[in-house]
Amino acid sequence: MKYTTIIGLEVHIEPNTKSKMFCGCPQNHFGAKPNSQTCPICLGLPGALPIANKEAINKVIKLGLALGSTISAKSKFYRKHYFYPDLAKSFQTSQKDNPLCVGGSLLGKAINHIHLEEDAGKLIHQNNISLVDFNRCGCALIELVTAPVFHSTSEVLAFTKELQLIARYLDISGADMEKGTMRLEANISLLLLGSEPVTGSEPVMLPDYKVELKNINSFRFLEKAIEAEIKRQELELSQGRKIKQETRGYDENTKLTFSQRSKEDSQDYRYFPEPDIPPIEIQESRIQELESSLPELPQQKREGFEKQYNLSKEYIEILVSDLTRANYFEKACKLNKNYKLIADLMINKKLDEKYLEPAGLVKKIIELTKTDFIPASDVEQGIREVLSENPDVITSYKNGKGQVIGFLIGQVQKKLSGKGDPKLISAKLLEALHG
């Protein structure tokens, strides 16, 4: 039997704000001493009052604008209740019915919404004890939820890589999977091909189950984990078994997914509007201001590079996929018009690592193009021709008129269109005359 794969994504991005979502503690927690970045607000101590982080809100709006979302004029925070040891308040402040950004799309894939919430802390399991580090507790977190519109791993990869690039171009996050500043969850289910009509990219009717694949922390893992889960579901369905609604992880050693938590009953989080944070109102002028501050996005850069510098698609992709290199390339191109050579030296010789300033690379290019003389054999050929065309001059030279050597060098250079090394011409000419 043939199935079509249906995948929806939930992507979490930790923005690079100065402070956490609702307090003044630092947002950046990498390498910090455990529990050194906490306060009564992010620990949820009685009486502490949260204040929403304006910088985090602006960053979500920027992402929404870049992805064509509608920015909500009014937005709200909710309390989402559940217990977990690293969630100090026993509820997570998140958004529900009123997310900041609604709709939008990327690479033709529909986005449901993008909202803002806070992160939980981290549990560290050592030997037989579990430790909790609250440094990440209360950190700002952006969640982007797509429609169930992906049908293959390659579509998911392309989407997440482009989203990562956009977050970096917007300077809203490093969006680093290995560091956890970008995290991915995929909801996967299979639909019997032909059982339901598929219109556009979203099926009319979805399967009656979905398996949530969690803790995907690298692009390499993403591919393997999703492939493994699709295979598992195919096998289950083809043997007539029903697939359980659950959360699964991926084991790199067995290359299989494994059950983590059953999700047969949808959890009741007892959402209610957060009474300590007033609803957010976004003025039109603020949206316009943020929109006009948007930088050039990866796709615009690709198109610009193709038009302006006429590079191959492969070269463009390498340069555009790293904003620092793309900027370096552009700066170098402002100084020198050898666009292809600049790209060559950056991509194949990694000279942008050697010359930290584009001006250094350009200086090197000027040197290279200057000493780019034609081979010695061509010079010798040119000399032979000039000498055979000027027997009188040779006679003059042999009669002691040394100054005619300058005339001969000029004739050879003319023949070589100025591309001969003058030192080499002079040496070879003397050799020929005295030989």
Please identify, using beta-carbon distances, which residue of 37 and 98 lies nearer to Zn ion. Answer: 37
Strand 74-75 and strand 280-281: the pairing is antiparallel
Residue 192: which of 347, 3, 325 has the closest Cα? 3
Task: Kindly list the distances between the CA atom of residue 262 and the CA atoms of 178, 215, 254, in Å, as whole numbers in the listed order.
Answer: 27, 16, 21
Task: Determine, following the binding rule CB under 5 A, whether residue 52 of this chain makes contact with Zn ion.
Answer: no
Query: At its nearest, how many Å lie between Zn ion and the CB of residue 132?
Result: 15
Which CB, 85 or 194, lies closer to Zn ion? 85
Quote the CA–CA distance of 427 and 177 in Å, as a whole number.
Answer: 61
CA angle (130, 133, 134) in 5-degree steps: 135
The answer to whether residue 145 forms part of the interface with Zn ion (CB under 5 A) is: no
Tokens of 359: 């001006």
Give the span between the Cα atoms of 126 and 260, in whole angstroms: 20
Query: Nearer to Zn ion by C-beta: 11 or 141?
Result: 141
Is 25 an interacting residue with respect to Zn ion (CB under 5 A)?
Answer: yes
How many residues bind Zn ion (CB under 5 A)? The answer is: 5
CB of 84 to Zn ion, least distance (A): 18
Choices 19-27, 28-36, 52-60, 306-314 (CB under 5 A): range interacting with Zn ion: 19-27
Closer to Zn ion by CB, 23 or 316: give it.
23
| Contact indicator for 9, 145 with CB cutoff of 8 Å | yes
110 binds Zn ion (CB under 5 A): no
Q: What is the DSSP string of 394-419?
A: HHHHHTT-TTHHHHHHHHHHHHTTT-
Q: Which stretch binds Zn ion (CB under 5 A): 18-26, 129-137, 227-235, 422-430?
A: 18-26
Nearest to 192 by CA among 400, 1, 427: 1
Query: Cβ closer to Zn ion: 22 or 305?
Result: 22
39 is a contact residue toward Zn ion (CB under 5 A) = yes
C-beta of 50: minimal distance to Zn ion in Å? 9
What is the closest distance, in whole angstroms, from the C-beta atom of residue 119 to Zn ion in the complex?
Answer: 12
Q: Output the smallest distance, CB 29 to Zn ion, in A.
A: 11
Does position 42 interact with Zn ion (CB under 5 A)? The reply is yes
Contact 73, 107 (CB under 8 A): no
Q: Min. distance of Cβ 15 from Zn ion in angstroms?
A: 16
- Whole-angstrom CA distances from 234 to 4, 115, 214, 404 are 10, 33, 19, 87
**Structure tokens given for 63:** 């992402």
CB of 34 to Zn ion, least distance (A): 14
From 31-39, 281-289, 319-327, 421-429, span contacting Zn ion (CB under 5 A): 31-39
Binder to Zn ion among 6, 9, 13, 23 (CB under 5 A)?
23
Q: How far apart are CA 8 and CA 207, in angstroms?
A: 12
Instruction: Establish if 282 lies at the interface with Zn ion (CB under 5 A).
Output: no
Q: Which is nearer to Zn ion, 42 or 365 (CB)?
A: 42
Which of these ranges, 20-28, 77-85, 293-301, 374-382, lies near Zn ion under the rule CB under 5 A? 20-28
d(CA 207, CA 189): 7
Pick the closest to residue 75 from 90, 55, 54, 96 (CA basis). Answer: 96
Q: Name which of 42 and 230 has its Cβ closer to Zn ion.
A: 42
CB nearer Zn ion, residue 42 or residue 429? 42
Query: In the complex with Zn ion, which residue's Cβ is closer, 39 or 287?
Result: 39
For 198, other C-beta atoms within 10 Å of its C-beta total 16
Q: Which residues pair with 70 in a beta bridge?
A: 102
Q: Which range binds Zn ion by CB under 5 A, 32-40, 178-186, 306-314, 404-412? A: 32-40
8-state DSSP, 178: T
As measured in angstroms, the least distance from the Cβ of 171 to Zn ion is 24
Q: Judged by CB, which is closer to Zn ion: 25, or 156?
A: 25
Minimum CB–partner distance for residue 25 and Zn ion (Å): 3
With tokens 């989402």, the residue in question is 80
Q: Which residue matches tokens 């021709």?
A: 385
Paired tokens of 78: 């909710």
d(CA 25, CA 39) in angstroms, rounded, equals 7
Shortest distance, position 209 Cβ to Zn ion, whole Å: 39
Which chain residues interact with Zn ion by CB under 5 A?
A: 23, 25, 39, 41-42
